[in-house]
Every structure is written in C-alpha cells, then in structure tokens.
C-alpha cells in the first residue's frame, strides 16, 4: 500500500514536471516558486546582451579605479558561492553620482551607479545590493517578465514562435520588460513577489559569501530615510517599506547561519 502510494505520488510528480515543461514553466531556485518561462537561458542571455549594448551606449561606465575593483570583487565573490558559472557574470559601475540606482540584466550583467555606492555606508551594504541584483538574475526574473509581457500581448504559442527566431517583436517586448523604453532610467517593474524573492536569494547568497546579511536591513532603513527627503530611481522600482524589512528579518536567522559558517561574526 505504501509503495503503491509512493508510485502514485512520484508518477504524479513526473507528469507534473512534463506538464510544466510543455506549458513553458520554470521553477525559481532557492524558493521553488513556479514561473511562466517562455525563453530559454540562451535566449535570455541574448536579450540581456542586446539590452546591455543600449545601456552601455547611453551611460558612462567607469573603466577602472577602486570603486570598479570593489564592485567586481564583491560581485565575483557572491557569484562564485552560487556555483552558477553558467551565467555570464559581469559587473559595471555607472558614473552618475546623482542617481541612487542599481539593476541587473538577464544573463548576468549587474550595473551599480556611483550614487548608490555613495549612499551605502559599508562594503556589506554594497554587497546586499549586488546580491539582490544577482538574485534577480538567478531567479530569471527578466526572462519571466519578457514571458509575461509577450504572453499578454500575443498569447503563449505566438510568443514562443516570436522568441524562437528572436524577431523584432521579441526584442521590443524585451525592451518593454527591461524598461529600456522608459523615460526615467531603467525601470524594471518587477512584481513584489519577485522583489521579495530577490531579497531572500540576496540575503542567503551574501551571507554564504561572508558578507554580513544584517547590512541588507540597515541599507533599506537608510533608503527609507532618504526616500522621505528625495525619492530615488532605486526606490521607485524597489519599494522600501516596513514589510520588506520585516521579511528580511524573518529570514535573518537562516542567513546568519550561513554567515557564521562562512567565518562571519
Ligand atoms: Zn529588485
């Protein structure tokens, strides 16, 4: 009886897995949330690269210096503990001290503005921001967003066909999804669910890399204080509120275990 119920259970799991693949679904790492995913990782990387070209044309990237070294070192350290070398991790510093912002493009490109580096009060706070952006990449939120935009525009079958040959329609949808057509910077209108997911993944991965996860809370508290005086781009796409901080606190005991294991104290 027990064996039979096991077969039934696993049989169902296999069927469910097949169904998910057929329907264009994926499962987010770390949280296990199921997602609509019509793009392959390769397509996602290609769309991310296209978007990065636009960003690099428009923004002034700092090529060398201590800020670049720091952002790259932090980014690489966190990317390494994720064990996901299948992503094309690249970290950029954008020379714009007026803009408190950071964002990631699908496939692994992370951009941090000098304005955000100035607003962060410690290396751990910078790590919290970079880990959060890495969380968006790992959970393929860009691909999920493109999938949702395209599916809403043209239905799932047509969307998959458009993405198959990377037609202009697919590129356009990617621009919408990544906020490249937006008037103010790169507004990535991730859902709240995706934001919380990136927060959680960020908290765990920064701790595993040996950065103090409590800095994620102090960073958001600083942002809340700043937001009252001057709303920033980062705040418009990353609503910082008590709920967000409460969620981070909820996962702090788990994150601290990883931090201690990584040698933190
Ligand atoms: Zn975010």
**Statement: residue 109 has pLDDT above 50:** yes
Ligand 1 is a single-atom ion; what residues have CB below 5 A from it? 198
> Alpha-carbon dihedral of residues 163, 165, 166, 167, nearest 10 degrees?
-100
Residue 232 is predicted with a pLDDT of 65
Residue 20 is predicted with a pLDDT of 44
- 251: phi then psi, degrees, rounded to nearest 5: -95, 5
Residue 189 is predicted with a pLDDT of 62
Separation of CA 198 and ligand 1 centre (Å): 6
Q: How confident is the model at residue 17 (pLDDT cuts 50, 70, 90)?
A: very low
**Statement: residue 97 has pLDDT above 80:** yes
User: Where do we find the tokens 């994926």?
Assistant: 26
User: Averaged over 21-47, what is the pLDDT?
Assistant: 86
The CA distance from 202 to 184, in Å, is: 25
Separation of CA 1 and ligand 1 centre (Å): 47
Contacts with 191 (C-beta within 8 Å, 6 or more apart), sequence order: none
**Active-site choice (133, 195, 197, 233):** 133
The CA distance from 220 to 86, in Å, is: 30
The CA distance from 255 to 67, in Å, is: 26
Q: Which residue has the higher pLDDT, 42 or 128?
A: 128
Q: Note if 133 is an active site residue.
A: yes
Separation of CA 197 and ligand 1 centre (Å): 9
pLDDT tens digits along 189-218: 678 889 999 999 999 999 999 999 999 999
Residue 239 is predicted with a pLDDT of 66
Quick one: tokens of 54? 């636009």
Residue 1 is predicted with a pLDDT of 42
The region of weakest confidence among 82-86, 164-168, 186-190 is: 186-190
User: Averaged over 22-45, what is the pLDDT?
Assistant: 87
Quick one: tokens of 198? 């990136």
Residue 161 is predicted with a pLDDT of 74
Separation of CA 155 and ligand 1 centre (Å): 27
pLDDT tens digits along 221-256: 988 887 666 666 677 667 667 888 999 999 999 999
User: Averaged over 144-157, what is the pLDDT?
Assistant: 80
Separation of CA 136 and ligand 1 centre (Å): 7
**Statement: residue 134 has pLDDT above 80:** yes
Q: What stretches of the chain adopt beta strand conformation (E)?
A: 25-27, 34-36, 61-62, 90-94, 102-105, 109-113
Separation of CA 177 and ligand 1 centre (Å): 14
The CA distance from 96 to 118, in Å, is: 10
Separation of CA 178 and ligand 1 centre (Å): 12
Contacts with 261 (C-beta within 8 Å, 6 or more apart), sequence order: 208
Q: How confident is the model at residue 149 (pLDDT cuts 50, 70, 90)?
A: confident
Helix axes 192-208, 123-138, angle to 10 degrees: 120
């Amino acid at each position: 009886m027990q064996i039979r119920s096991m077969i039934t259970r696993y049989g169902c799991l296999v069927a469910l897995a097949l169904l998910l693949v057929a329907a264009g679904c994926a499962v987010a790492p770390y949280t296990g949330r199921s997602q609509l995913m019509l793009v392959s990782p390769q397509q996602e990387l290609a769309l991310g690269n296209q978007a990065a070209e636009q960003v690099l044309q428009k923004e002034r990237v700092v090529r060398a210096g201590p800020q670049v070294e720091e952002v790259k070192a932090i980014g690489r350290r966190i990317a390494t503990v994720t064990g996901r070398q299948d992503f094309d991790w690249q970290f950029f510093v954008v020379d714009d001290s007026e803009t408190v912002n950071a964002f990631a493009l699908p496939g692994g490109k992370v951009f941090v503005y000098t304005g955000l580096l100035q607003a962060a009060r410690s290396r751990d706070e910078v790590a919290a921001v970079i880990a959060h952006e890495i969380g968006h990449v790992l959970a393929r939120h860009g691909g999920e967003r493109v999938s949702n935009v395209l599916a809403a525009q043209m239905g799932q079958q047509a969307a998959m066909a458009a993405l198959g040959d990377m037609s202009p329609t697919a590129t356009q949808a990617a621009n919408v999804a990544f906020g490249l057509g937006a008037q103010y910077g790169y507004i990535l209108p991730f859902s709240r669910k995706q934001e919380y997911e990136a927060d959680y993944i960020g908290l765990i991965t920064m701790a595993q890399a040996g950065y103090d996860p409590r800095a994620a809370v102090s960073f958001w508290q600083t942002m809340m204080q700043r937001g009252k005086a001057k709303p920033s781009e980062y705040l418009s796409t990353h609503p910082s509120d008590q709920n967000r901080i409460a969620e981070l606190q909820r996962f702090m005991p788990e994150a601290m275990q990883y931090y201690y294991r990584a040698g933190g104290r």
